[in-house]
């Protein structure tokens, strides 16, 4: 009975994480379209929500990686996963509060790994899987996106640079609708699956699914897709401002190039089953499209803050995940610990939102 209560709490927490993932990462998908006026904010966010929902149904490669290649599925419990999720959500909210586009994916992986280490030590962590499927791609992906963004903007300026600006700007804005759509779809295929992977892991840990040869249940896919779409529609305007206007002052050709680079990297990575950070990829594309025009066009101070947040994400969320597991385990193996921690987390979350609302809604006038 206690196990089922914990499982319900884990699934609910995973869906909250999925919501914050959509809420937090909407910025990546829509910032470039909004800042170049290719789409109005409401249309951009609505389109991204719909395509994120659709993208979640397209592929489950990444979910399989999360469920089997990061930690030993047989050695963890729903309580461990719960603690990891709280670690990830906490880090997402902290970086959202400061307007930093950090990686929800790495927050999730870090949180789960930290909780696993606190629970059973490092033996249950698949170091090979984390290195090969998470860390190396995490370093390479933004670099590849940076290079593609830079090449793409050079191509765009070479071909269209001498034409009258009016039709060219309109053309690139139209192109941004397509590349932005692909990006939203790619985001859905990559990010919604992380939650699917975690819920699947919890179902395995609770004995509802076999540890090998499992299929991700349909209800997991539908609820994960819905949560990320809802989060996306709600939107994270603070991060949109950072991504869309603070790294570089973006024109429509740069927006088109950055989105194309991001979509290409994320779609290719999803196809090969790498759980990438969409945030890092798109930020890499944005920086590349700025640097391709002029190195000094990139505000390297802002870019540096973002990179620092990337490096902090895995250890910080792992530390929070481990601390959460330590707190929950004080109350034993039952549902008491997760229930108390959930209550505390809800209270803190509501306090944070109330404080933010009192200070005024940080929606930029775009």
Partner 1 sequence: MTPAALIGTVAATLIDGEALFDTAVASLAAGVFVALTGSLAIYGFATAAEMQRVGRDVAAVGAGALAVVASLAFMGALGVGLYLIISG
Q: Which residues bind partner 1 (CB under 8 A)?
A: 58-59, 61, 127-128, 131-132, 136-137, 140, 144-145, 147-149, 151-153, 155-156, 159-160, 163-164, 167-168, 171-172, 175, 178-179, 182, 185-186, 189, 256-257, 260-261, 263-265, 267-272, 274
How many Cα atoms sit within 13 Å of 352 on the Cβ side? 14
Helix (H, G, I), strand (E, B) or coil at 132: helix
Q: Which of residues 51 and 320 has its CB atom nearest to partner 1 in the complex?
A: 51
Q: How far is the CB of 193 from partner 1 (least distance, A)?
A: 11
Q: Which of residues 140 and 352 has its CB atom nearest to partner 1 in the complex?
A: 140
Q: How far is the CB of 281 from partner 1 (least distance, A)?
A: 9
3 state SS for 338-356: HHHHHHHHHHHHHHHHHHH
Q: Which of residues 158 and 358 has its CB atom nearest to partner 1 in the complex?
A: 158
Q: Which of residues 190 and 317 has its CB atom nearest to partner 1 in the complex?
A: 190
Main-chain dihedrals φ then ψ at residue 125, nearest 5 degrees? -90, 130
Q: How far is the CB of 214 from partner 1 (least distance, A)?
A: 18
Q: Which of residues 179 and 226 has its CB atom nearest to partner 1 in the complex?
A: 179
Query: Which residues, listed in sequence order, are joined to residue 125 by a DSSP beta bridge?
Result: 71
Q: How far is the CB of 183 from partner 1 (least distance, A)?
A: 11
Q: Cβ neighbours of residue 315 under 8 Å, at least 6 residues apart? A: 110
Q: How far is the CB of 256 from partner 1 (least distance, A)?
A: 6
Q: Find out whether 235 and 26 touch, Cβ atoms under 8 Å.
A: yes
Q: How far is the CB of 47 from partner 1 (least distance, A)?
A: 15
Tell me the C-alpha distance between 322 and 317, whole Å: 8
The token duo for 67 is 């469920």
Q: Which of residues 89 and 264 has its CB atom nearest to partner 1 in the complex?
A: 264
Q: How far is the CB of 322 from partner 1 (least distance, A)?
A: 24
Which of 23, 22, 21, 29 minimizes the C-alpha distance to 186? 29
Q: How far is the CB of 175 from partner 1 (least distance, A)?
A: 5
Tell me the C-alpha distance between 283 and 146, whole Å: 8
Residue 225 DSSP code = H
Q: How far is the CB of 134 from partner 1 (least distance, A)?
A: 11
Q: Which of residues 17 and 172 has its CB atom nearest to partner 1 in the complex?
A: 172
- Conformational region of residue 274, where left means phi above 0, alpha means psi within -120 to 50, and beta covers everything else: beta
The length of the chain in residues reads 366
Distances from the Cα of 9 to the Cα of 82, 181, 310, 336, angstroms: 8, 33, 28, 11
Q: Cβ neighbours of residue 256 under 8 Å, at least 6 residues apart? A: 152, 156, 172, 175, 176, 179
Tell me the C-alpha distance between 255 and 349, whole Å: 33
Tell me the C-alpha distance between 277 and 220, whole Å: 21
Q: Find out whether 243 and 278 touch, Cβ atoms under 8 Å.
A: no
């Amino acid at each position: 009975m206690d196990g089922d209560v914990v499982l319900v709490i884990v699934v609910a927490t995973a869906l909250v994480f999925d919501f914050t993932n959509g809420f937090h990462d909407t910025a990546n998908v829509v910032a470039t379209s909004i800042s170049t006026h290719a789409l109005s904010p409401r249309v951009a966010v609505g389109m991204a929500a719909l395509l994120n929902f659709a993208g979640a149904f397209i592929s489950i490669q990444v979910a399989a990686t999360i469920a089997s290649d990061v930690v030993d599925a047989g050695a963890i419990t729903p309580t461990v996963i719960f603690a990891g999720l709280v670690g990830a959500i906490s880090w997402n909210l902290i970086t959202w509060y400061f307007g930093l586009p950090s990686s929800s994916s790495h927050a999730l992986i870090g949180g789960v790994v930290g909780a696993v280490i606190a629970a059973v030590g490092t033996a249950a962590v698949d170091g090979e899987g984390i290195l090969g499927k998470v860390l190396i791609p995490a370093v390479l992906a933004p670099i590849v996106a940076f290079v593609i963004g830079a090449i793409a903007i050079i191509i765009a300026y070479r071909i269209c640079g001498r034409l009258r600006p009016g039709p060219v700007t309109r053309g690139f804005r139209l192109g941004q609708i397509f590349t932005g759509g692909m990006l939203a779809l790619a985001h859905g295929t990559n990010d919604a699956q992380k939650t699917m992977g975690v819920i699947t892991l919890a179902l395995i840990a609770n004995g509802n699914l076999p540890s090998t040869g499992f299929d991700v249940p349909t209800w997991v896919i539908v609820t994960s897709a819905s949560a990320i779409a809802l989060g996306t529609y709600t939107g994270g305007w603070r991060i949109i401002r950072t991504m869309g206007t603070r790294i570089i002052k973006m024109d429509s050709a740069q927006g088109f190039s950055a989105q194309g680079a991001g979509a290409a990297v994320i779609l290719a990575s999803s196809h090969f089953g790498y759980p990438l950070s969409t945030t890092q990829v798109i930020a890499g594309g944005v920086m590349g499209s700025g640097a391709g025009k002029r190195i000094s066009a990139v505000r390297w101070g802002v870019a540096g803050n973002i990179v620092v947040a990337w490096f902090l994400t895995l250890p910080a969320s792992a530390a929070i995940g481990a601390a959460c597991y330590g707190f929950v385990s004080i109350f034993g193996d039952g549902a008491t610990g997760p229930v108390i921690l959930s209550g505390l987390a809800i209270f803190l979350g509501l306090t944070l939102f109330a404080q933010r609302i009192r200070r005024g809604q940080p929606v930029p006038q775009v």
